[in-house]
Amino acid sequence: MANIDEEFKKRLVEIFGRENVSDEMEERICASYDATRRSALPDAVVRAQNAGQICELMKLCNERRVPVYAQGACTGLVGAAVPFEGGVALDMTGMKRIIEIDRRNLTATVEPGVVTADLQKEAEKAGLFYPPDPASNAFSTLGGNVAQGAGGLRCIKYGVTREYVLALDVVLPTGELIRTGSLAVKDVTGYDLTALMVGSEGTLGIFTRMVLRLLPLPEEIVTSLCYFRDVENAMDAVSAIIAAKIIPRALEFMDDECARSVQSEQEFDMPPDTGAVLLIELDGKRALIEGEMKRCVEICRSCGAFEVFEAYSEEDCEKAWSVRRAISPALYNISPGGKINEDVCVPRSELTKLLHAVKEISRKHEVKIVCFGHAGDGNVHVNALVDLSDESEAERGHAAIREVFETVVSLNGTLSGEHGVGVAKQSYLSMQIPEREMDIMRRIKRLFDPNNILNPGKIFPPAPE
Ligand SMILES: Cc1cc2nc3c(=O)[nH]c(=O)nc-3n(C[C@H](O)[C@H](O)[C@H](O)COP(=O)(O)OP(=O)(O)OC[C@H]3O[C@@H](n4cnc5c(N)ncnc54)[C@H](O)[C@@H]3O)c2cc1C
């Protein structure tokens, strides 16, 4: 139990209003978990309506040394929003206004609780495009996306959330409100505090207003699915497509285990003996992208694709994507006891080496590992299918994942391409980040949050004695 008494609760009610403060068990349970199986109860839940309330909350909690956790939709996959040390869960989903879509400057000014897909739809109405597209976009909030530096399906062409954040209003753990960045497209004035905030996992400050970059909406989209006998051929095709100077907006892959897993789920038959699948999507002017898609298909065939489904209508594109969307439900059905889901990322040229190594690791530890992901980015979702309630199976799964991480680091990759560290990857962090750099990061945290009250215990493993 954090340092919370009746006087503290009275202050919360004064700040947020009685209807926006609760210590009822039902509400505390709702605020206790994210999309991992981790959970911990906060002592109280408050629902914010404006930045002023958050400044007051942080001053109060800083004075009383009470932990605070900003929460969006709690779809995070690393435990970053889970209130492990008790204290106050700060629900940001009520701050969900799209304040402005500026067509002249191609920006959107939003509150952090806006659901990602809602901004995408609103931008489309103005003929504009917000490209970051995490698969959770129907639920996740833009505040959570910025805090986790979310990726998604279109990063090969459009980059990650980081590329779309121009300016932020941020309440610091000590209660001051600061403004980072500017509305200018170019800005090299001083240290880039906006970039520091992106991916800070709710540990440095709470975003209360965000200015995001938009692009013109691409005119058309075409998609194709290419089936290969093995993953090498598929990865050769990925390299050849890029070498042909074609940059798809999505370039997704499935390995053989993944293809087998979705076979029972999808709406149309996957060819027998499929060893790898590529989904290629291009956007732009129809005349150009149809020609480019034909070229991609030629490249895939020359690299060994034995069957291709080309989708030039909206209906067929949907059909192609249904294969990709079938992955998560299929893995759940195959492994109801759980899975260890990692999102490692390596330079694109190292993908084949990584996928081979994963096969070896899977054999060695006798753990089924399914790989799929964003081949265009070198970002692989490595899923060890283990029953997490079975101690020895879970142990084998974790040992396998540790070896996957070792391999990734040896290939100059990173432990997380999109989900972040939270608590899930904390114990592996030193494999990638040397102590000197880790110390700089810890000092940055202390500078912003001297009393360690904002989302404590996340990202960093305990400092060495
Ligand atoms: C089915 C599924 C698919 C997913 N697909 C993807 C994907 O393709 N790509 C990807 O990158 N991720 C993906 N994710 C992970 C997750 O959706 C993202 O990390 C997302 O950005 C989290 O948003 P959220 O609103 O749920 O944040 P939460 O989980 O509520 O919080 C995440 C972190 O953000 C902080 N935070 C929240 N709001 C604020 C704020 N206003 N100010 C400061 N910090 C804040 C929290 O403190 C916490 O540390 C997926 C998750 C699921 C369940």
For helices 231-243 and 286-302, angle between their N-to-C axes, nearest 10 degrees: 140
Can you list the alpha helix ranges (DSSP code H) found in 67-198? 116-125, 142-148, 155-158, 193-197
Six token digits for residue 222 = 């075409």
Q: How far is the CA of 77 from the centre of ligand 1 (A)?
A: 7
Range of the domain at 190: 98-216
Which residues make Cβ contacts (< 8 Å) with residue 8, sequence separation at least 6? 60, 64, 66
Residue 206: is its pLDDT beyond 80?
A: yes
Same domain, 232 and 301: yes
Pocket flag, ligand 1, residue 202 (CB < 6 Å): yes
Helix or strand run (H / E) with residue 250: strand 250-254
Q: Residues 388, 281: one domain?
A: no
How far is residue 170 from each of residues 80, 200, 269, 330, measured CA to CA in Å?
18, 12, 50, 40
pLDDT of residue 2: 66
User: For the domain that residue 390 is a member of, what is the CATH number?
Assistant: 3.30.70.2740
Domain end, chosen from 41, 63, 91, is at 91
- Whether 34 lines ligand 1, by a CB cut-off of 6 Å, is yes
The residue whose CB lies within 8 Å of the most ligand 1 atoms, and thus the one to mutate among 39, 55, 71, 460, is 71
Give the mutation target among 33, 39, 74, 77 for probing the ligand 1 site: most ligand atoms within 8 A of CB. 77
Atom number of ligand 1 nearest to Cα 153 = 8
- Residue 453 in any domain: the answer is no
Alpha carbon of 313 to ligand 1 centroid (Å): 32
pLDDT tens string 271-291:
888 999 999 999 999 999 999
Q: Give the H or E element holding residue 209.
A: strand 206-213
How would you class 59 by CB atoms within 10 Å of its CB: exposed for 0-12, middle for 13-18, buried for 19 or more?
A: middle
Query: Domain tally for the chain?
Result: 4
140 Cα–ligand 1 center, Å: 6
CA dihedral angle for residue 361, residue 227, residue 338, residue 78, rounded to 10 degrees: 80
- Tens of pLDDT along 306-365? 999 999 999 999 999 988 888 988 888 888 888 999 999 999 999 999 999 999 999 999
CA–CA separation, 117 and 61 (whole Å): 33
d(Cα 259, Cα 275) in Å, to the nearest integer? 7
* Same domain assignment for residues 60 and 119: no
Given a contact cutoff of 8 angstroms between Cβ atoms, the answer to whether 337 and 390 are in contact is: yes
132-182 pLDDT per residue, tens: 999 999 999 999 999 999 999 999 999 999 999 999 999 999 999 999 999
92 lines ligand 1 (CB under 6 A): yes
203 with 102, same domain: the answer is yes
Residue 289 Cα to ligand 1 middle (Å): 32
pTM here is 0.96
Tell me, using a 6 A CB cutoff, whether residue 140 lines ligand 1: yes
CATH code at position 19: 3.30.43.10
The answer, yes or no, to whether any atom of ligand 1 lies below 6 A from the CB of 69, is yes
The pLDDT value given to residue 465: 64
**pLDDT category of residue 262 using cuts at 50, 70 and 90:** confident
pLDDT category at 1 given cuts 50, 70, 90 is low
Q: Mark whether 344 and 284 lie in a shared domain.
A: no
Determine, yes or no, domain membership for 252. Answer: yes
Q: Name the DSSP letter for residue 206.
A: E
Report the separation in Å between the CA atom of 226 and the middle of ligand 1, taken as the mean of its atom positions: 31
For residues 151 and 229, state if they share a domain. Answer: no
